[in-house]
Structures are given as C-alpha cells and as structure tokens.
Structure 1
Amino acid sequence: MGSRRKARECALQMLFAADVSGTRSDDVVCAYWRELGDGEMDEAARDFATRLAEGVLARIPELDERIRLRAENWRISRMAIVDRNILRLAAYEFSYEPTPRTVAINEALEIARRFSTYEATQFINGILDAIKRDLDLESPREEIEITEETDKPEEHNVASA
C-alpha cells in the first residue's frame, strides 16, 4: 500500500473518531497520533494525513452541502459514518489538494472497499463522480497522471482556501 493511501486511511480514522465523538477539533488529530497512529509512517505521509483530517474538520458544513446536492434522497446524517467521511475526504481533496480528481475518486473507492460495503462503494462512486463533474465545470483542472514515483506527499502544497 502506498504511503498516500495509508495517509488517507489514517485521516479517515481521525474523521470517524471525530464524527462518533461529536468532536470537531484538532484534539482528535492529536489523540489519534498519540494513541493509534502508525509509528512506521514517514513524516511527509503523516503531515498529509493530518492536513487532510484538519482540512475536512474545518470545512464540514461546506463539504456536506456539496455532498447533499448530489446525494439525492439521502440525508448526510443517515449515511453510514464511514461512508460520509470517505465522501468528505474526497470532496475536500477535490477542492483543496492538487491531487487529480480521478485519483481522489479511485483512492476513495479503494478505501471504501476496505472499510465499507460493496453497495456503499457504488453509492460513493456515484456521488463523487457527480461532484467531480460539477467541479470540472466550475474550475477545470488538468488531470495529470500520478504514479508511485511522482506521488510523494512532500511535493504537494495545500491550495489556498
């Protein structure tokens, strides 16, 4: 498993913990690294995971609104906790990270296959694809190919919010 996928999984676990506990603060991130964090994760991947989790936590209302617009007949509160946080994570990455949107979708689906159900993976794919289409119309982004060689966390900068 690549270091960025592992970082995304760690971010998802932080978001899950925040959602379950009702906490929307960076305390969850600190507690995660103190209690559960992957000690073998390199610093760049750890920074990426932290940036993702903190970015999502800071923008949940905005991300949920974007998801709500595309999750027809589904309230965010009725979605499985893991599913809504996978959606939030990918929606955040779409807007605030330089990751190509198709890569963010593929990563979200791989994580969903590991942490959720087959049906949820299809559900997540449909919503993320619709959000991607919306964003591609609003702000087209060149889709570059990310390979193991070029997908290095330290080479990516946070897009300004």
Structure 2
Amino acid sequence: MKLTARRQARELALQILFQTEFAPQISPQTLLDVFEQSVEEETTSYADALIKGVQSKKAEIDAKIQASSAHWKVERMATIDRNILRIAVYEMKFAADPIKENIAINEAVEIAKKYGTTESASFVNGLLDQVSKAR
C-alpha cells in the first residue's frame, strides 16, 4: 500500500524535526534537500510547511501540549513522541488550513505506532484527545 503524500510528508517532517533536535547546526532545509530527489514535490512541500509551522509556533504548541499533560513535562517526553505531538497540534490548531482533529489524531497515532515505543500510540492518542478538548 502506497502512503499518501500527506502521511509521507508528516513522516518526513518528523524525521527532520527529530534530527534537528540532536544536530541543531544542520538546517532543516539541508535535511529536506537530501530527501528532495527521492519523494514527490507535493510531499516535500507539505513537509516543509509542517517543519516551518512547528518551528515558528513551537512555544505555543508546547504550551498546549503542556497544559494537556498533567504528568509529563514536554522536555521530558520521548523525542519522537514530542515531535509527533507538535506536528499534530500544529495541524489541528495553528495551520493556515487546519485539519479535522480526529484526522490529525489518527495520523499521529499511526505514525507513533511506526516510529515510537509500544506505549507511544496510546500516549499520543490520549494527549492529543486532551488538546482537542481544550480551547
């Protein structure tokens, strides 16, 4: 089954956001350029929008995540989970054309199953559900 361009873009954005946490000296654009040859332009374009959006709204996104997380500080969350959450919250709450919350949550959960730990999917699901209920 071929992944949708948007799912691929979310995964690509996740990989780049994850990498930039460990190597902040490498620009996201440099990392995106590496993938540009192997994926469709539509995918890299949406991934770029997600990356720039998450980076520009990071403080507000993290505040929403923190407000919905009673027991976890954002900086103590697993790096993969934190970045999956950031992408989903950006798409739900901050994107120029926000996507439906249930779609953002389902996408984040599927990506968490693929890239996270065995607990990641339920953690991401529960936290994003709280974010979606908060106004």
Q: TM > 0.5 between the two?
A: yes
The answer to whether residue 108 in structure 2 is matched with residue 108 in structure 1 is yes
Aligned equivalent of 1:77: 75
Structure 2: distance between partners of 1:67 and 1:52:
17
Return the offset for 1:42: 1.9
Mapping for residues 1-161 of structure 1, pairs under 5 Å = 1-22=3-24, 28-35=27-34, 37=35, 39-95=37-93, 96=95, 97-134=97-134, 138=135
Question: Do the aligned partners of 2:89 and 2:128 also contact (CA within 8 Å) in 1?
Answer: yes
**One-letter amino acid of the structure 2 residue matched with residue 11 of structure 1:** A
Greater C-alpha radius of gyration: 1
Change (3 A) 1:63 1:74: same
Structure 2: distance between partners of 1:34 and 1:46:
9
Structure 2: distance between partners of 1:114 and 1:47:
22
Structure 1: distance between partners of 2:4 and 2:71:
35
What are structure 1's unaligned runs of at least 5 residues? 139-161
The number of equivalent residue pairs is 131
* Stretch of structure 1 that moved more, 91-100 or 106-115: 91-100
Question: Do the aligned partners of 1:17 and 1:28 also contact (CA within 8 Å) in 2?
Answer: no
TM-score when scaled to structure 2?
A: 0.90
Question: Do the aligned partners of 1:14 and 1:28 also contact (CA within 8 Å) in 2?
Answer: no
Return the offset for 1:85: 0.4
Give a deviation string over 1:3-55, Cα, whole Å, max 9, x none.
110000001111101222246xxx622111233x1524222221111000110
What are structure 2's unaligned runs of at least 5 residues? none
Structure 2: distance between partners of 1:79 and 1:72:
12
Percent identical: 36
Aligned equivalent of 1:147: none
Structure 2: distance between partners of 1:110 and 1:86:
10
Question: Do the aligned partners of 2:81 and 2:112 also contact (CA within 8 Å) in 1?
Answer: yes
Structure 1: distance between partners of 2:118 and 2:60:
27
TM-score when scaled to structure 1?
A: 0.76
